[in-house]
Structure 1
Amino acid sequence: MNWYVLYTKPKWEKKVAEQLQAIGIDCYCPLVIKERQWSDRKKKVEVPLFNSYVFVHLEEKDRPLVFQSPGAVRFLFWLQKPAMVREDEIATIKKWLSAPNAAEIEVGTYQVGETIQVDSGPFVNQQAVVQEVTASHYVLVLESMGCVLKMKHK
C-alpha cells in the first residue's frame, strides 16, 4: 500500500477525511491549531496544514474509491504518475505535529546556501539548506521533503 496525495475542494479537507474514514479508507489530514481574529473575538481553530490536500493510504487498484466523497477532486500527479509520499515522510509530519512548541533549531554561524543537518526538534537528522538569515528568523529548505521552514530565533 502507498500514500497518495488527494486534492480536495477548498475547505473540504476535514470533511473528505471523515467521509473516507467512514467507508474504511485509511487517510491522514494533518491539522494545526491557529488563532483567528474576528471583529469581536479571537478563537483557536483547527485548520489543515496543507490546504486542499489529504493523504490516503491504499492500493493502486483502490484509488477510484476515494471519489465516493463529493469533496474529492483528483489525485496529485508528478511526472505523469500519481504522487506518492513515503511512509517515513508521513511519520515525520506526524512527529512534527505532535512535538511540543518548544522545539528549537540552532543555526549558529551558518551562511546562506550552506547545507546543514538539523540536530534537534521534530526534523532531527534532516538535511536543510539555509536560505535566509534575518534578525528575527531563519528560513531553512528541507529538500528531501520539499518544504520550507521559517524558524524564529530563541
Structure 2
Amino acid sequence: MQHEGTAGNASWYVVHTRPKQEFRALEQLRNQGYECCLPTIQLEKAQRGKLASCTEPLFARYLFIRLDDRTSHWSPIRSTRGVSKMVAFGNRFATVRDDVVDALQKAPLAMQPMFVPGERVAITYGPLAGLEGIFQMKDGEARAMVLIEWMSQPQKLVLAIGTLQKAA
C-alpha cells in the first residue's frame, strides 16, 4: 500500500470511479492507506424547491491517487468499492503533474451560484411553463425574480426557484 513519504518514483495517477461514487471511492482508498486527492466545488442547487449548498467533485467520476511504481500495491485499487478502473492510454497509466494536483488541493473554489443575473432561464413548471426569461436575482431561498416579455411589455415575476432551469 502507498503510505505518505514512501521513497521512489511517486506520481499522481487518475482513477475513474463508478457514477456518483467519487466520495465512496475516496474513503475506501484512504482506508487502505493510499494518498488521494478529490478536488471539490461548492454549488447551489434546487432541492425540494429551495436553494441548497452542496459539495460536488470538480471532475465528475475522477479522482487522483499517488502511487510509487516500485513499492505500491496496485492490484487492490480496481476492486475497491466505488472504483471503476485506472485511466490508461494504451498500456500506459495516465499521470498528472505534482504541481497541477497541488494547485487543485490549494485552490479555494468559490461557491458557484445556480443562476447569475442576466442569464437566460426557462420556466419548466406551472402555467408559464415553456416561457423563457432573464434571471434577475434570488428572492429568498426558494424564489427568484425573472424578467419575461408578456404582451409586449417586460414583466418582473417572482417564481419558485425549482421551476427554473438554464435555457438551452
TM-score class normalised by the smaller sequence:
0.5 to 0.7
Equivalent residue, structure 2, for 1:88: 99
**Matched residues in 2 for 1:90 and 1:37: separation?**
30
Structure 2 CA distance, aligned partners of 1:99 and 1:72? 25
1:95-152 per-position Cα deviation (integer Å, ceiling 9, x unaligned): 32x2667xxxxxxxxxxxxxxxxxxxxxxxxxxxxxxxxxxxxxxxxxxxxxxxxxxx
Q: For structure 1, list consecutive stretches of 5 or more residues without a partner in the other structure.
A: 102-154
What TM-score does the superposition give when structure 2 sets the normalisation length?
A: 0.54
Of 60, 63, 85, the residue aligned with 1:74 is: 85
Q: Which amino acid aligns with 1:77?
A: A
Structure scoring higher RCO (CA < 8 A, sep ≥ 6) equals 2
What are the Cα deviations for residues 29-72 of structure 1, in whole angstroms up to 9, with x where unaligned?
11111011134211100000000001001123522221341211
1:17 counterpart residue number: 26
Preserved contact between residue 13 and residue 65 of structure 2 (Cα < 8 Å)? yes
Letter in 1 for 2:49: D
Structure 2 CA distance, aligned partners of 1:11 and 1:45? 14
Q: Aligned partners of 2:45 and 2:103: how far apart in 1? A: 26
How many equivalent residue pairs? Answer: 100
More helix by percentage? 1
Which of these two proteins has the greater Rg computed from alpha carbons?
Answer: 2
Distance 1:89 1:64 in 2: 26
Letter in 2 for 1:10: P
SS in 1 for 2:74: helix
- Maintained 8 Å contact 2:17/2:61: yes
Are positions 1:65 and 2:73 aligned together?
A: no
Give 3-state SS (helix, strand or coil) of 1:62's partner.
coil
Question: 2:54 corresponds to which residue?
Answer: 45
Unpaired runs of at least 5, structure 2 = 1-9, 112-168
Question: The residue matched to 2:78 in structure 1 has which SS?
Answer: helix
Specify the alignment match of 1:56 in structure 2. Answer: 65
Partner residue in 1 for 2:37: 28
Question: How many angstroms apart in 2 are the aligned matches of 1:71 and 1:100?
Answer: 27
Could you tell me the TM-score, scaled by structure 1's length?
A: 0.59
CA distance in 2, matches of 1:59, 1:24: 13
> Which amino acid in structure 1 is aligned with residue 68 of structure 2?
E
Letter in 1 for 2:41: V
